[in-house]
Structure 1
Amino acid sequence: MSVSYQSLAPDFAVTGQLQPADMQALADAGFKSVIINRPDGEDGPSQPLSADVLRAAEAAGLQARYQPVVSGAMTAADVADFSHLLQELPGPVLAFCRSGGRCTKLFQASQESAPHQSQG
């Protein structure tokens, strides 16, 4: 089983909906952490529950966090929470939602709002 993803930075990538069974493949690919940005139930019963994905991630040795963000309704708090997760979690990190677009927007917004390191 292989998971396709798009790298946005050396330690960060995004992808669409993942299944619990995908978590070991992510660990095997070198990822250390997973962020779930898709709210439970967004796509009805065909969508796996975040709790099941989190359990599978932990079993595969991954750090995992559930940070649901409503599609088209991203807030400043969502961006701040996402930025905090990127600082807290060991990289490389893979974030997923329905298509990867929401995670891409969160990442881009978090980079734009990050304080510049070269001050001082």
Structure 2
Amino acid sequence: MDIRHLTPDHAVSPQIAPEDMAAIRAAGFATVIDNRPDGEIPPDLHAGAMAAAAAAAGLRFVANPVIGGAISDANVALQREVLDAAGGPVFAYCASGNRCSIVWAMANAGRQPTDALIETAARWGYNLEPFRARIDGLAETR
């Protein structure tokens, strides 16, 4: 497991396994967000299996499947709602952590400057520059 802290209370990661949930809880996280669609992964990593493992570890689990290149307004809204209601540190995962960082930045549009959101993700090798206009647009509507 490769935990990449974007902020002290939010981390992203490449794909995890059900057996990682206990370690995620031990690392202090309260909520896990699955940003990976089930169609990309084998059944043992589908949201249902991951949700059961998260519950067994005492974690809140939210499935918010994000399709690369097609992040919907509903994805952004749900991510923002989960972040607002988390009540503790949040751990999000997808294939590489990239989609998680993009939807995190979009969910935080208007809360932090776009430059800061893009720079934060860049520290972990995630290029959010192609999403600048959308992040700016979301910031204007909030």
Larger proportion of helix: 2
In 2, the alpha carbon distance for the partners of 1:84 and 1:115 equals: 16
Equivalent pairs counted in the alignment come to 113
Q: CA deviation at 1:113?
A: 4.0
Partner of 1:69: 66
Q: TM-score, normalised by structure 1?
A: 0.86
Structure 2 residue 16 is the aligned partner of structure 1 residue 18: yes
Match of 2:29 among 24, 31, 50: 31
Following the alignment from structure 1 to structure 2, what is the Cα–Cα distance between the partners of residues 17 and 109? 21
**Contact (CA 8 Å) 1:40, 1:47: kept in 2 or not?**
no
29, 38, 41: which one aligns with 2:39: 41
TM-score, normalising length: structure 2: 0.74
Pair 1:50-2:47 in alignment: yes
Matched, 1:96 2:96: no
- Structure with more relative contact order (C-alpha pairs < 8 Å, separation 6 or more): 1
Runs of 4+ displaced beyond 6 Å: none
Does structure 2 conserve the Cα–Cα contact (< 8 Å) formed by 1:5 and 1:14? yes
2:3 and 2:109 map into 1 onto residues whose CA distance is 22
Q: Alpha-carbon deviation of 1:76?
A: 2.0
Q: Which runs of 5+ in 2 are unaligned?
A: 114-142
How far the C-alpha of 1:29 sits from its partner, in A, is 1.0
Please give the alpha-carbon distance, in whole angstroms, between the structure 2 residues aligned to 1:19 and 1:89.
Answer: 21
